[in-house]
Chains A and B, each alone.
Chain A
Amino acid sequence: MTYAIRTTTTAQPTLLEKVPPLSWALALLLLVMPLFASNFVLFQIFGWTFILGMIGLSLMFLAGYGGMVSLIQMTVGGLAGYMVAILGTSGVPTISLGWPWWLYIPVAILIAAVFGTLVGALAVRTEGIYTIMITLAIASAFFYFTRQNYGLFNGYTGFNRVVPPDLFGLDWRQATPFYYLTLTCAALSYFAVVYVARSPFGLALQGVRDNPRRMGALGFSVTAHRILAYTFSSVIAAVGGILLVWQNAQVSPGTAGIPQVIDILVIAVVGGIRRPIGPFIGALIYVLLRVYSPDVLLAFGLSGERFKLLIGLGFLVIVFFSPDGVLGLWEKYKARREKQADPLRGGRP
């Protein structure tokens, strides 16, 4: 697989020059959003978009930079969410250990990262469709295990009242604090991925994607690089999973059920897996469809349940017209406009 992710080690221009005006405008808009957006939009639309975007981003890192399509990301997030419920507090005091937040959050992320790494260690020995199959198999196993295990995962019901700690005397499930919490985590993960893509580890991962044999002939251990890519992406997925569980105030087998696992793939592919911003675009489209399409369908006299059909159709259309997702469409459009504006190619100057 060869992707043209443009990257360079040369002289770095200043931050102001490097970032296009559109990005500045977007950043500003996101920062002041709570001034005019409703609580529903902040919590339900953007909060959820940022969370799903992060889990999608963890897949983008593996697939876009590492050439490995993993279906384990949602499960890693789900496991982190479970760990927060089990180690911290929940509505099931017989199981929850009630640790303080500064202990249960890092330990939950650590456990999820170890789990993701182990799955990676199994998955990197396979290629393409087999990676998808093995990760899907482990994700299903996790789903059924959590549903049947009552001692630790509390079976079918899972855990309710799993909420963020009251840091700084704030209720972090209020719309505005939750918006900023998820925005911060999403932005940090996004910039972490952008930064790491240009680090020796990130570059080597792209090398492994383009040409594993040559990487070996340059002194790199291809297997070790692939496994560590799972570790890195698991940390992002884990943070996303914890936020998701806090948003819903509950975690149950359905948090990382098979539909949710597949949705992450849909989100990443629809948005575009070539660039870190792609999954966030995919997540926004997904959330908008999930939230508003039942109303639209009802208005046309159709069952609201049909939204899944709409999402599926949207997925097909995008994959059909642009294998690089919505981002790919946008780039095609830009390229076409530039071509038209080029007088040498017959367009208007």
Chain B
Amino acid sequence: MTLTQTRPGPVRNTAERLSSVSSGNALELRGVTKLFGALAAISDVTLTVRPGERRAVLGSNGAGKTTLFNCVTGDFLPTSGTIRLFGEDVTSFPAHERIRRGLRRTYQISLLFGGLTVADNVYLACRGVSRGRFSLLRPRINDVLVARATELIEAVHLTPARDTLVANLSYGQQRQLEIALALAGAPRFILFDEPAAGLSPTERAELVSILTGLPAHIGFIIIEHDMDVALRVAESVTMLHNGRVFKEGTPEEIENDAEVQELYLGNGHG
């Protein structure tokens, strides 16, 4: 079962060409600040992630983790600072331009198409990062993207529900669908926003196996309160606190850091 497309699409080629000219980081944030009125949801965040790197972002409720993701994907434009994706300055790009360059995300609160079936949701995700978005011709039975959507549905164990309207899916199934949407096309860097929240232990184990099974060239950032999940899939950790980067290090360093324990692990979130 392949989780990602082996044959890179045209979008990816362009993105790769662009990234080869530059520093070679998958993601680079410099002094990113996002204000909501007077509240600085994140302030002066500087962060670099290498291609293929798997990073966990930790932090208590309201630390600014989701806001960080929103700035990276372009859901919100940052108040100040620059964001580079595969070496290219994307700070002022709309979300869809960033996605077409290989960025993907999942949402903390599932953001799906309730009026469409599972198959249609995944098909749309595959279509969004390839050509023919405006095609008036229906996909044929042997359409590559339909086949690709079927594989993705299989990969997140939703095959029995493929023709179910998404509004009628269970919570856990919706979380799985979130992940399928993020894996569509040829992702190069994925942002997972609390993918394990609300999942049963079995579903969590499945999630971990999906994450660890991703091809090595795909880097990701995962926001996760469950340390078991976070530390099993990540090789580096960034701690956010009150919108600022508080600590960076390996999982061991963070786990054993006295300040972190006091601030985060100690107060019941671990």
Residue positions of A touching B, CB distance < 8 A: 2-12, 195-196, 198-204, 206-207, 209-211, 213-222, 224-225, 228, 232
**4 interchain residue pairs of minimum CB distance:** A219-B128, A218-B128, A216-B95, A219-B99
Return the chain B residue nearest A210 by Cβ.
B113
Looking at B81-89, B159-167, B217-225, the stretch in contact with chain A turns out to be B159-167
Question: Contacts of B149 on A, CB cut-off 8 Å?
Answer: 9
B113 engages A211 (CB within 8 Å): yes
Q: 8 interchain pairs (CB within 8 A)?
A: A4-B167, A7-B116, A9-B120, A195-B138, A200-B135, A210-B113, A218-B128, A220-B96
B136 engages A9 (CB within 8 Å): no
Of the candidates A198, A214, A225, which one forms a contact with B112 in the assembled complex, judged by CB atoms under 8 Å apart?
A214
Question: Contacts of A215 on B, CB cut-off 8 Å?
Answer: 96, 124, 128
Q: With A and B bound together, what is the CA distance between A12 and B140 in angstroms? A: 10
Least Cβ–Cβ distance between B166 and chain A, in angstroms: 9
B132 is an interface residue with CB less than 8 A from chain A: yes
A200 engages B73 (CB within 8 Å): no
Question: Contacts of B146 on A, CB cut-off 8 Å?
Answer: 9
Return the chain A residue nearest B132 by Cβ.
A200
Return the chain A residue nearest B130 by Cβ.
A219
The number of A-B residue pairs with CB atoms under 8 Å apart is: 126
Interface string of B130-151 (1 = CB under 8 A from A): 0011111111010000100100
Dominant secondary structure of chain B at its interface with chain A: loop
A218 engages B141 (CB within 8 Å): no
Question: Contacts of B105 on A, CB cut-off 8 Å?
Answer: 217
A4 engages B115 (CB within 8 Å): yes
Question: Contacts of B114 on A, CB cut-off 8 Å?
Answer: 2, 210
Apart from A216-B99, A217-B111, A224-B134, list 18 A-B contacts with CB within 8 A: A2-B167, A4-B165, A4-B167, A6-B165, A7-B116, A8-B163, A9-B146, A195-B138, A198-B138, A199-B138, A200-B139, A203-B127, A204-B128, A209-B115, A210-B115, A210-B116, A214-B107, A216-B94
Question: Contacts of A11 on B, CB cut-off 8 Å?
Answer: 141
Q: With A and B bound together, what is the CA distance between A3 and B146 in angstroms? A: 23
Return the chain A residue nearest B113 by Cβ.
A210
B133 engages A12 (CB within 8 Å): no
Q: With A and B bound together, what is the CA distance between A157 and B167 in angstroms? A: 53
A204 engages B124 (CB within 8 Å): yes
Given A213-B111, A220-B128, verify A200-B116 contact (CB < 8 Å): no
Q: With A and B bound together, what is the CA distance between A251 and B107 in angstroms? A: 53
Of the candidates B94, B127, B135, which one forms a contact with A221 in the assembled complex, judged by CB atoms under 8 Å apart?
B94
Q: With A and B bound together, what is the CA distance between A207 and B123 in angstroms? A: 11
Given A10-B162, A211-B112, A213-B111, verify A199-B137 contact (CB < 8 Å): yes
